[in-house]
Chains A and B, each alone.
Chain A
Amino acid sequence: MKYYDKLIFELSKPGRTGYSLPEPASKDALSAIPAGLRRESDTCLPEVSEPDVVRHYTALSQMNFGVDTGFYPLGSCTMKYNPKINEEIAAMPAFSAVHPLQEDIPGINEIIDGLDHALCAITGMDHFTFLPCAGAHGELTGLMVMREYHLRRGDTGRTKVIVPDSAHGTNPASAAVCGLQVVEVKSGPDGLVDVESLRPLLGDDIAGIMMTNPNTLGLFERQIGEIAELVHGCGGLLYYDGANMNPLLGMVRPGDMGFDIMHLNLHKTFSTPHGGGGPGSGPVGVKAALADIATSLKVSGFHGNFGVMLRAYAYILSLGRQNIRLAGKLSVLGANYIKESLKDVYKLPIPSVCKHEFVFDGLVNDGAHDDVKGATTLDVAKRLLDYGYHAPTIYFPLLFHQAIMIEPTETESRETLDAFIDIMRKIAAEAAENPATLHDAPHTTPVSRPDETLAARHPVLKWQDSI
């Protein structure tokens, strides 16, 4: 990657244009608008030509790393290959030119119904709403379903929701903005929700529980059957955080485990591109008794991110009933393969079989000696960038101080995993020998270890602030 230091504003030259539009018919086409309602100040929009724009953004793209660039073992994010046909389908003018309030659209309706049906078949739920635009948005919507269910029954005292200490950070945040108080349930030494710790928390003030299964350590919550019985027994509902659905694809359905409400991240499980942080799609699935509630919740402007739904549906059609059987299994195969290949040089806090991802707790030998500081998880992550890999998720989950969370996905070959394993071992050896090599990493990227403290203490958040 080459360092390129321009911002589009710095290419601007008065008189250049990047647009082609006809002249308005009249001299003052805005004459109908009184002066008092018109803009007074200039804008900072740049004046650049079309080739300027193309070169600039191409140069920016070359400082970026995507799934197409290389292996992206970012735990919890399911960075699988994004099929190209899906992009072509989403760009078809027949779909992209449809106004959201148009009603005479049997083709689009058939697509949405088909996707709904397929997701229900895959998850064991009865109905999906597609309005949520992201995973966290789905969580919020799902919790609204939970609250509304209790409210409609006149059960207004259920204001608490149970969230395991290993949960994704969005879980407690979603609960809080949905007006629910978070009650944390501890994990046991095996990394699983401790049923005995859960039992005393249950009562008539509990709206439900939020769980992801497998959990954020990549471990299957074996006692989910008992947990479901207990939570249902106290009158609560079970919410499934679908961020970790991938290993269950083709094997296990959340609906069968007792979950009443769930969301899916179409941008994880169903291979739609992450786009540098969105657009995603976080449809919420519910059991039949909650379908009316789910349908009634207006949580975004129109029908959700239809363009993302198109891509996901195309992917599901390519999987079909045959290939879906292998999707989850191969993701689990890859994760266990890496785990078993590295556990002698990276600390594995919980040795059981994992699902699509697993967590190391730093290096076995971080090279610390005398006054020399050992190599941290951050150092390992930054060193991976030098070797052409995206780093795993680091410092999450919070249960371990040096967490390194690795998720390979089913679209990575054995050769790719072997090469990654070799590099991870090489980094471990470097750390043991001379941790300083790692403290300075990365060495080959366009920039290295930007000063985040400076950025937060003296915020420069737009171009005008910096000049």
Chain B
Amino acid sequence: MAGFQYFPHTEEDIRAMLDRIGVSSLDDLYSDVPGSFIYDKEYDLPDAMSEQQIRDFFDRMASLTPRKTVFAGAGAYDHYTPSVIPYITSRSEFLTSYTPYQCEISQGTLRYIFEYQSLICSLTGMDVSNASMYDGPTAAAEAVRMCISATRGRNTVLVSQALLPNVREVIATYAKYSGTVIKLIACKDGRTDFADMRRLLEDGDVAGAIVPSVNRFGIIEDLDGFAAALHDAGALLTVYCDPSALAVLKTPGEWGADIAVGDCQSLGIPLCYGGPYAGFMACRNDYMRKLPGRIVGQTVDKDGRRAFVLTLQAREQHIRREKATSNICSNESLMALWVTVYMALMGPEGLKRVNELSCEGAHALYDGLLATGKFETAFKAPFLKEFVLRPLCDVKKLQQTLSDAGFFGALLTEEGYVSFCVTEKRTRAEIDALVETVRRAAL
């Protein structure tokens, strides 16, 4: 047998082990499998690669993946990742551990999740956070379920048309099979239309509504009155938000929301073609026992030392089984550590500065692009780092021109606007270069 670096067995080991078991060959260990199910053909896989061949293969794939300067957002933001983070998260005690079921040898994981929960609560203004979800859109879909289970007997959830398309799609997919009715709240002037929501509430059966804090046009929503209207109707308010922006923007808690969800990606997680990211989900104390997913709590051990454990497990799928309202089992633990370290490094001032720099850059780009004459204003409304413009040019050509110049931006929205995003990573020179590219191009 040729050696394989991950399998430690020598011929002699295998022989000795088979002897102890009392069988004569490895194939005998499959004597319980009907012969017709044993796959005896050659597997249609490449020849085994050495480590160097693997590196060469992925280097080649990397060379086929052009690197762009990112001026796009739409749910994935190119914020800077401090070097410390991957050093910490690649520590094998974190990286190669399982879910902290054995709390005595998992205090590291349990403590950072507790810190994560504390930070998410603080950013969102909520009372309780879980240990994280798969991503923002799935967290939103779970929020729909939570609204339903918190308001017994109701089966409709209102979803703002101003939410990102992928958030709406995931909500719709989950809702279709669980039988939940989703009604869309229209947009008006680039914002969630409050009057339309009130109208939908009058139809009754509404368990809750999900609206964005910063919407897909980049506009910061004014959610004054939303919580009151929903609460008057016995329904819950869920706010979908960008946690990075919550360092400076009014929080779901301040808007009176019951549930806050969103994607942690903006807290220094690399774009990585869409994942892994981590969703967050937090709520008011009233709904603590309806919150899906894992939760870490503080307690003391038998000698009185502060200790942390997975808690409130009676909510979870492995106990509730067919009575479960969520089937989520694992969280995105390592990504929760990632954003915890990020928030620790940034602190209140650093995270505020990320927003200030992004906001300045975005407004500079906005003004610069308008000045090219190739766009006009879509909405007159406050934005932070992302905005849309109405293009006066061919969008396909615009996108190609940007791509040829090494930029990724000008995403087309459902209405035909183009959206741009600027983070603190984008320098003034890059912003000017993009504007200059657009100005010069014949579009």
Who on chain B is nearest to A135 by CB? Answer: B329
Min CB–CB distance A254 → chain B (angstroms): 10
Q: Interface size bucket, A side?
A: 35 or more
CB of A62 within 8 Å of the partner chain: yes
Q: Contacting A462 at CB < 8 Å: which of B51, B121, B333, B348?
A: B121
Q: Contacting B94 at CB < 8 Å: which of A30, A64, A178, A220?
A: A64
Q: How far is the CA of A224 from the CA of B115 in the complex (A)?
A: 47
Residues of B near A81 (CB, < 8 A) are 6
Residues of B near A67 (CB, < 8 A) are 92, 96-97
Contact indicator B347/A18 (Cβ below 8 Å) = yes
Q: How far is the CA of A393 from the CA of B318 in the complex (A)?
A: 13
Residues of B near A462 (CB, < 8 A) are 114, 117-118, 121-122, 127-129
Contact indicator A464/B121 (Cβ below 8 Å) = yes
Who on chain B is nearest to A381 by CB? Answer: B102
Q: How far is the CA of A99 from the CA of B360 in the complex (A)?
A: 22
Who on chain A is nearest to B409 by CB? Answer: A99
Contact indicator B294/A32 (Cβ below 8 Å) = no
Residues of B near A307 (CB, < 8 A) are 272, 275-276
Contact indicator A29/B297 (Cβ below 8 Å) = no
Apart from A303-B274, A449-B302, A465-B298, what are 14 other A-B pairs with CB-CB below 8 Å? A39-B251, A44-B122, A62-B93, A173-B326, A252-B39, A275-B332, A275-B335, A276-B100, A277-B294, A298-B172, A450-B308, A451-B302, A459-B312, A464-B121
Mark B317-332 against chain A: 1 for CB-CB distance below 8 A, else 0: 1111111111111111
CB of B9 within 8 Å of the partner chain: yes
Mark A231-249 against chain B: 1 for CB-CB distance below 8 A, else 0: 0000000000000000000
Q: Contacts A133-B332, A353-B32 given: A48-B347 contact, CB under 8 Å?
A: yes
Residues of B near A92 (CB, < 8 A) are 58, 62
Give the segment of B135-143, B195-203, B368-376 that binds chain A.
B135-143
Of A43, A94, A305, A452, the most chain B CB neighbours within 10 A belong to A43
Contact indicator B275/A57 (Cβ below 8 Å) = no
Give the segment of A69-77, A284-292, A429-437 that binds chain B.
A69-77
Who on chain A is nearest to B68 by CB? Answer: A102
Residues of A near B274 (CB, < 8 A) are 100, 301-304, 306
Q: Contacts A301-B263, A413-B8, A462-B129 given: A173-B321 contact, CB under 8 Å?
A: yes
18 A-B contacts (beta carbon < 8 Å): A34-B382, A37-B222, A56-B344, A81-B6, A134-B328, A136-B327, A170-B317, A274-B97, A274-B99, A302-B76, A317-B53, A320-B47, A326-B4, A337-B21, A340-B21, A451-B302, A456-B297, A461-B117
- Give the contacts of B256-308 with A (CB-CB under 8 A): 263, 270-278, 288, 294-303, 305-308
Q: Contacting A18 at CB < 8 Å: which of B21, B121, B166, B346?
A: B346
Who on chain B is nearest to A417 by CB? Answer: B17
Q: How far is the CA of A184 from the CA of B53 in the complex (A)?
A: 48
Min CB–CB distance A127 → chain B (angstroms): 14
Mark A371-406 against chain B: 1 for CB-CB distance below 8 A, else 0: 000000000011001000011010010000000000
CB of B188 within 8 Å of the partner chain: no
Q: Contacts A301-B135, A451-B302 given: A413-B170 contact, CB under 8 Å?
A: no
Mark B21-64 against chain A: 1 for CB-CB distance below 8 A, else 0: 11100110111111011110011111111010111011011111
Q: How far is the CA of A142 from the CA of B184 in the complex (A)?
A: 27
